[in-house]
């Protein structure tokens, strides 16, 4: 199959493209569509056969549910039943973080096909910030079910070129709107009640909406310890598999202040945070990539993380990737979550 690429460049002036893409989706086709987090592989969420094509193209197992992308917060009620005791909490979260990189898992309505939710009684809902995904969902008039546009278990794509490398020849269309501005997948929250019956959330996946940002908006239940190694346990949310976001080459995490003992005759590449750590100054590396050279800004590192992992994967002079452990504050928590899954044993 030939994979066509359409560029959308001028926000606010792409309605014709959005309508054309919506027509394709309405016919049961699929397309890679940008969001602010990563590129998604989208289908009409109400068309089970179209959603099946997404699973097929990604080689994604059917037990891993998809996120439904909505054009606006009011459309939430088309696919989810918000329990009355959680309405205040859900409205507050939606007003604060939508449109944006937050996904809410809520009881589903029966119109959502089983294939979207992997048969779960809940559906994952998000109103993305990116105009392209929202514009196409609006033109379609249905939510767009979309996981990240990569082969299952691999690194999420943050550019159209990365989608092409992952899925070129397997999907008909990629919408190219340049690089993603967040670079990490959305934060996934499960609104629920705490032991006293008060509204709270469980953090199912760390992401750009950090614990710090949630503070003052809602209580976050301690379903796992901050910094806990979640790769050793099977998580409560399906799809949060121990090995995920993985490069093809082996990846190991290492403390930037401690020396690394290389094996003989192995070519190592280093992913360094700022590039000036004792580890980075070691003479072991055939190549070094910095996430935020010099300044060490976590937000900049987050935007670049997946692109840098891909670059390392593609280099002929690197056999094993060593990644520096990052500070676990703010978005650093989400980055360490992805790095631990990338490093997890795949056997």
The site for ligand AMP (CB under 6 A) is made up of 64-65, 67, 105, 117, 120, 122-124, 147-148, 185, 188, 204-205, 237-240
Q: Report yes or no: 146 and 130 within 8 Å, Cβ to Cβ.
A: no
Instruction: Write down the least CB distance from residue 211 to ligand AMP, Å.
Output: 18
Q: Which residue is nearest to ligand AMP (CB)?
A: 239
How far apart are alpha carbons 259 and 280 in whole angstroms?
9
Kindly state whether residue 148 participates in binding Mg ion, applying the rule CB under 5 A: yes
Kindly state whether residue 158 participates in binding Mg ion, applying the rule CB under 5 A: no
Closer residue to ligand AMP, CB minimum distance, 128 or 239: 239
Between the CA of residue 334 and those of 66, 205, 253, what are the distances in Å?
19, 8, 15
Q: Which does 64 bind (CB under 5 to 8 A by kind): ligand AMP, Mg ion, none?
A: ligand AMP
Instruction: Write down the least CB distance from residue 156 to Mg ion, Å.
Output: 5
SS3 track for the chain: CCCEEEECCCCCCCHHHHHHHHHHHHCCCCEEECCCCCCEEEEECCCHHHHHHHHHHHCCCCCCCCEEECCCHHHHHHHECCCHHHHHHHHHHHHHHCCCCEEEEEEECCCCCHHHHCCCCEEEEECCCCHHHHHHHHHHCCCEEECECCCCCECCCCCHHHHHHHHCCCCCEEEECCCCCCCCCCEEEEEEECCCCCEEEEEEECCCCCHHHHCCCCCEECCCCCCCCHHHCCCCCCCCCCCCCECCCCEEEECCCCCCCCCCCCCEEEEECCCCCHHHHCCCEEEEEECCCCCCCHHHHHHHHHHHHHHHHHCCCCCEEEEECCCCCCCHHHHHHHHHHHHCCCC
Instruction: Write down the least CB distance from residue 245 to ligand AMP, Å.
Output: 9
Binding segment for Mg ion (CB under 5 A), chosen from 4-12, 82-90, 148-156, 175-183, is: 148-156
Which of 34, 24, 40, 15 has the alpha carbon at shortest distance from 176?
34
Q: Which does 122 bind (CB under 5 to 8 A by kind): ligand AMP, Mg ion, none?
A: ligand AMP
How far apart are alpha carbons 244 and 67 in whole angstroms?
17
Instruction: Write down the least CB distance from residue 147 to Mg ion, Å.
Output: 5
Instruction: Write down the least CB distance from residue 207 to ligand AMP, Å.
Output: 9
Instruction: Write down the least CB distance from residue 244 to ligand AMP, Å.
Output: 8
Closer residue to ligand AMP, CB minimum distance, 131 or 206: 206
Closer residue to ligand AMP, CB minimum distance, 236 or 255: 236
Q: Which residue is nearest to Mg ion (CB)?
A: 148
Instruction: Write down the least CB distance from residue 226 to ligand AMP, Å.
Output: 19
Closer residue to ligand AMP, CB minimum distance, 112 or 318: 112
Q: Which does 123 bind (CB under 5 to 8 A by kind): Mg ion, ligand AMP, none?
A: ligand AMP
Q: Which does 65 bind (CB under 5 to 8 A by kind): ligand AMP, Mg ion, none?
A: ligand AMP
Closer residue to ligand AMP, CB minimum distance, 104 or 251: 104
Radius of gyration in angstroms for the set of CA atoms belonging to the chain, rounded to a whole number: 20
Closer residue to ligand AMP, CB minimum distance, 126 or 304: 126
Instruction: Write down the least CB distance from residue 262 to ligand AMP, Å.
Output: 34
Q: Which does 262 bind (CB under 5 to 8 A by kind): ligand AMP, Mg ion, none?
A: none
Kindly state whether residue 272 participates in binding Mg ion, applying the rule CB under 5 A: no
Q: Which does 250 bind (CB under 5 to 8 A by kind): Mg ion, ligand AMP, none?
A: none
Instruction: Write down the least CB distance from residue 237 to ligand AMP, Å.
Output: 4
Query: What interhelical angle do 160-167 and 298-314 show, nearest 10?
Result: 40
Q: Which residues bind Mg ion (CB under 5 A)?
A: 148
């Amino acid at each position: 199959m030939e994979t066509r690429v359409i560029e959308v460049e001028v926000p606010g002036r792409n309605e014709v493209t959005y309508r054309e893409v919506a027509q394709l989706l309405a016919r049961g086709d699929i397309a890679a569509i940008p969001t602010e987090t990563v590129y998604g592989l989208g289908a009409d969420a109400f068309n089970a056969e179209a959603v099946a094509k997404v699973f097929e193209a990604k080689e994604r197992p059917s037990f891993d549910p998809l996120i439904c992308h909505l054009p606006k917060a009011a459309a939430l009620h088309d696919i989810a039943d918000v329990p009355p005791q959680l309405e205040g909490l859900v409205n507050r979260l939606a007003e604060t973080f939508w449109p944006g990189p937050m996904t809410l898992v809520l009881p589903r309505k029966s119109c959502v096909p089983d294939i979207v939710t992997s048969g779960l009684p809940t559906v994952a809902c998000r109103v993305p910030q990116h105009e392209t995904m929202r514009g196409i969902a609006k033109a379609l008039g249905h939510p767009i079910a979309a996981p990240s546009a990569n082969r299952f278990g691999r690194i999420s794509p943050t550019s159209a070129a990365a989608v092409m490398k992952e899925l070129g020849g397997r999907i008909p269309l990629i919408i190219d709107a340049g690089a993603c501005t967040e670079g990490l997948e959305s934060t996934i929250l499960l609104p629920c009640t705490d032991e006293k019956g008060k509204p709270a959330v469980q953090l199912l996946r760390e992401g750009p909406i950090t614990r710090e940002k949630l503070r003052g908006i809602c209580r976050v239940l301690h379903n796992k310890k901050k910094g806990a190694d979640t790769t050793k346990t099977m998580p409560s949310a399906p799809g949060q598999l121990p090995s995920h976001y993985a490069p093809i080459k082996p990846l190991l995490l290492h403390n930037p202040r401690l020396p690394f003992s290389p094996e003989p005759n192995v070519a190592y590449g280093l992913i360094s945070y700022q590039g000036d750590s004792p580890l980075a100054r070691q003479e072991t590396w055939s190549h070094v990539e910095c996430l935020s050279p010099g300044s060490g800004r976590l937000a900049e590192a987050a935007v670049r993380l997946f692109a840098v992992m891909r670059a390392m994967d593609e280099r002929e002079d690197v056999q094993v990737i060593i990644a520096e452990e990052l500070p676990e504050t703010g978005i650093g928590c989400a980055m360490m979550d992805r790095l631990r899954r990338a490093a997890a044993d795949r056997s």
